[in-house]
Chains A and B, each alone.
Chain A
Amino acid sequence: MSAQPEYAFSEEQFDALREIANIGMGKASSALADLIDTTILINVPQAVCVPIGDLPDILRDPEQVTAGVYLQVTGDVPGHATFIFDVQSAHRLAGVLLGMPEVSLDELTASALMEIGNIMLSAYLTAISDFTALQLLPSPPVMAVDMGAAILDAVIANIPNLDDFAVTITTDIYDRDGLISGTFIFLPEPGGIQRILEAIGMG
């Protein structure tokens, strides 16, 4: 169980978490850019502590249909990493990867999307791992197409020692033409944040 509530972290510590997320997202977005040969942009990562009841506020429209790729992180920083993209982006990404202009969300495109999510999430975790010298080990990814809030809900219910508050590190990702947009959400389990901060001398 957590020794202290995450919301006790200082603004400097949240800044450090944003910087680390930025490093991770840099790698993740260039992995996607290489994959689909498009310039991919990211916004400034957010690191906040919110009551779990407010988590769906991360999403622009909690009831919008999205594709979510999720994996569990084990090792030094146990946590939960999710990449949620709106369904138009999901179609487009799968179409580009499979070399087809129009795709529907069938099993083939689902596996293509899952692989895109996996590559990006793994790039993100590896970058954080390299920077902090901590081990962040990804589980095999899983995927769902559903309301964004329902996907988050299913992710949260995978945290057995869930606190009333959760630290979320989120980054929006998009391309210049407005064709692709998605959100990266990393939810470290209680204690994981502390370990990241200690590793970079901010504990």
Chain B
Amino acid sequence: MGVNLTVGMGEIQVVRGAGNVLTALGLGSCIGVCLYDPLTRVAGMVHVVLPQSQASKAGDLPGKFADTAIPAIVQRMVEQGASASRLKAAIAGGAQLFQFGVSNSLDVGARNAEAVVKALREAGIPLQAKDVGGSAGRTLRLISDNGLIVVRTIGGAERELAVLGNILASSGVAA
């Protein structure tokens, strides 16, 4: 039986096999990071809230910060049988919802996106697709059957962002 899990702020969820769905509801300036191993169908999502953990304490949720979230979710996925070298990523979120009277220094969304991209690069995980920035919140879903990523904004239908399990479209996987 597949599960349908919601990924709240700072949370990491990892599932294995087909039939599972991971969802981050209403991403504002936060970023939903989807990782997928096409071979084992280990799928993971983390809901990153802030760019850096400089002021973090021991015991802090690693999923809260971009720099700690990526290593933590990779480890969780490897524990579930994924290979770190096969992982592919897609990200969504990082909007700036509040449009009036907000200075650029408050644009956490853009800083989050930057920090997540950097953390993925450092982990050597190819970023297959991203839907970041703008001013609208997003709901992000990852379907574990084939690594399908869909994004929905208000007033819009769900649209496909990527299929991380599409081996033909990727160069990083040896068939």
**Chain A residues at the B interface, C-beta cutoff of 8 Å:** 1, 51-56, 62-63, 65, 68, 70, 110, 114, 140-158, 160-162, 164
Contact = CB atoms under 8 A, between A and B. Distances in A.
A144 B104 CA distance: 16
Given A157-B49, A160-B50, A164-B60, A150 B10 contact: no
B106 interface: yes
B68 interface: no
- The 4 A-B residue pairs whose C-beta atoms are closest, nearest first, are A150-B137, A149-B26, A53-B8, A154-B28
Given A145-B154, A154-B97, A157-B108, 5 more contacts: A52-B10, A54-B8, A153-B29, A154-B96, A157-B28
Contacts of A153: 9, 26-30, 49, 137
Interface string B103-129: 000101100100000000000000000
B41 interface: no
Q: Is the interface of B mostly helix, strand, loop or mixed?
A: loop
Contacts of B60: 164
Contacts, number: 123
Interface size class of B (residues with CB under 8 A): 35 or more
A139 to B, nearest CB: 8
Contacts of A149: 25-26, 28, 137
Contacts of B8: 51-56
Interface in B74-115: 95-102, 106, 108-109, 112
A201 B48 CA distance: 38
B10 A164 contact: yes
Contacts of B64: 52, 162, 164
